[in-house]
Amino acid sequence: MSADTASHTASHGAPRPGPLTGGAAGIVLLVVLFASFMDLLDATIVTVAAPAIAAELHASEAQLQWMLAGYVLALGSGLVIGGRIGDDHGRRRIFLAGLAAFAVASAACALATGPSTLIGMRVLQGLAGGLMVPQVFGIIRSSFDPAGTAKAFGAYGAVQGLAAVAGPLLGGLLVDADLFGLGWRAVFWVNVPIAAAALVLGSRFLPESTSRHRTAPDIAGAALLTLGVILVLLPLVQGRDWGWPWWGFALMAAGAPVLCGFLAYERSVVGRGGRPVLDPALLRVRGFGAGLLSSVFFFGAIGAFFLTLSIYLQAGTGRTAWQTGLVILPYAIGSIATSGLGVAMAARAGRALLVSGSLTSAASQALLWFIVRDGQNPGYWMLALALFVGGLGLGLAAPILVNVVLAGVPGKDAGAAGGVLSTVNQIGGAAGVAALGTLFFASLDDHTAEAAGPRGFGDAFASVLPAGIVLYLLAAALMLLLPRTAATPDA
């Protein structure tokens, strides 16, 4: 986060009074943590509900992929622009607007009558999250003193862990409980009361703040980046439904010049003295370029993993949504177990932790492949062990990846670089859903209806795991180029 983002300024740029204390500080923290919990929960809760959604809405496999990829791609596209808009026009104002939009989009998802409508509302959810999420960090930094900021970010980390545990369990519980006959729709309705409580409290207690330095957000740059990524991902996801026509490959190829045009446009923004989405000069910093690629590979491996795992467990082994959540739970527990260790040791051994985390994740995928490759219905504890190992790897790497990458970036560029890296994490996740999800469903197509079940779905899931291993190994190799230790956060 840049220094200007942390400035204590009021809505017209005047200095704010001192940092918040007492009950007001607690309520402000509660509000932003409510919103963070809702956003993080939404990233995991939908994967458990995906088979039920597909069954009721008669969604195609490509549409199921877009329900996940559309959300994370829209979220990633909005993160940097959302942060700039909040810096310029008031973090409180934009946070509340994003929160309200997220609630409305969640309700619209719950009311969707077809897969296309649900995909569109998921995209709106992601865009709303892109407005809301960046303000959380700005509000915390502008509302608390250094000691309070450190405690607030500690609480934020705890909420991340809680959301990781609650997501699969709550998703499974809501789908299986079928409250009021809502079925899977309850996983979206649950956002509405959380958002409503946060809106009421936020309207009353959140302070306003802006940045001292205002520049127009680089909307054209963000649009070019999003267009280039969509041109690459769209044929990957839709290719099977289209029958892999030549023009699908032409669309994919067209993504390259659009992305080159994005970089050229960003250079022109820098030349005019503006603040681009991505300063091309950052790509000449070895650690930063390697960090971007390692993030794409690392989060790409994760992107489709839980979607394909959830389909395999429910459609292939006959587990309920609740039982699926219980199988996934050890992954979240493993992540929580090592995330604190990773954060504590990042200043001394950040790069080594990243490499260890990526290799541990690869080992988890290898263990899962060994378990599911024979087409049998594996027992709970075998799956739980492999997933727990995967969670250990995630906890070592994911929480500190940004800070290790930023250690090699000049301090004046750290805020912009951090925003770009967060966006790339989301793009990597969307790319993983597109590529590995397509591989999973293509493998599933190779089996006859009689082979559906543990054998067919097991083979499809097993086909994805080696690709995930390769992605984790590539990420580990690139992580060797990163700085040895993590950046020290500004007070």
What pLDDT is attached to residue 9?
Answer: 35
State the architecture of 281-491 in CATH terms.
Answer: Up-down Bundle (1.20)
1-207 and 281-491, same CATH topology: yes
pLDDT of residue 403: 81
Question: Given this model, what pLDDT does residue 11 score?
Answer: 35
CB 469 within 8 A of CB 460: no
* HSE-CB for 474 with a 13 A CA cutoff: 17
The pLDDT score that the predictor gives to residue 488 is: 59
Place of tokens 């309705």: 189
pLDDT of residue 415: 66
- Output the tens digit of pLDDT for each of the chain's 491 residues: 333 333 333 333 334 445 666 667 788 888 888 888 888 788 778 888 999 999 999 998 889 889 988 898 888 888 878 887 887 888 889 999 999 999 999 999 999 999 999 999 999 999 999 889 888 878 887 788 777 777 777 677 677 767 777 788 888 889 998 888 899 999 999 999 989 999 999 898 888 877 776 667 788 888 898 898 889 888 888 887 788 888 889 999 998 999 999 999 989 988 888 888 888 888 888 788 899 999 999 999 988 899 899 999 998 888 999 999 999 999 989 988 888 787 788 778 888 999 999 999 999 999 999 999 877 788 999 999 999 999 999 989 888 888 888 887 876 676 677 778 888 888 888 889 889 998 998 888 766 544 556 678 888 999 999 999 999 999 999 999 998 887 655 43
Residues 6+ apart with CB under 8 A from 451: none
Q: From residue 247, give the alpha-carbon distance in Å to each of 252, 256, 439.
A: 9, 15, 20
Give the model's pLDDT for residue 213.
66
Give the number of other Cβ atoms within 10 Å of residue 147's Cβ. Answer: 10
Give the model's pLDDT for residue 260: 92
| CA pseudo-torsion sign 374, 375, 381, 387 | positive
Query: Of 150, 36, 72, whose CA–CA distance to 424 is shortest?
Result: 72
Q: Which two tokens stand for residue 277?
A: 């989405």
Q: Distance between CA atoms of 428 and 471, rounded to whole angstroms? A: 11
Asked if 339 and 399 count as a contact pair (C-beta separation under 8 A), the reply is yes
| Per-residue pLDDT at 282 | 83
Q: Please report which helix (H) or strand (E) contains residue 453, including its range.
A: none
pLDDT of res. 393: 93
Q: Which helix (H) or strand (E) holds 486?
A: none
Domain spans of the chain, in order of start: 1-207, 219-276, 281-491
Q: Which two tokens stand for residue 451?
A: 């082979």
CATH 1.20.1250.20 for the 1-207 domain, yes or no? yes
Q: How many residues does the chain have?
A: 491
Residue 15 gets which letter from DSSP? B
| CA-based torsion, 114, 115, 116, 120: positive or negative | positive
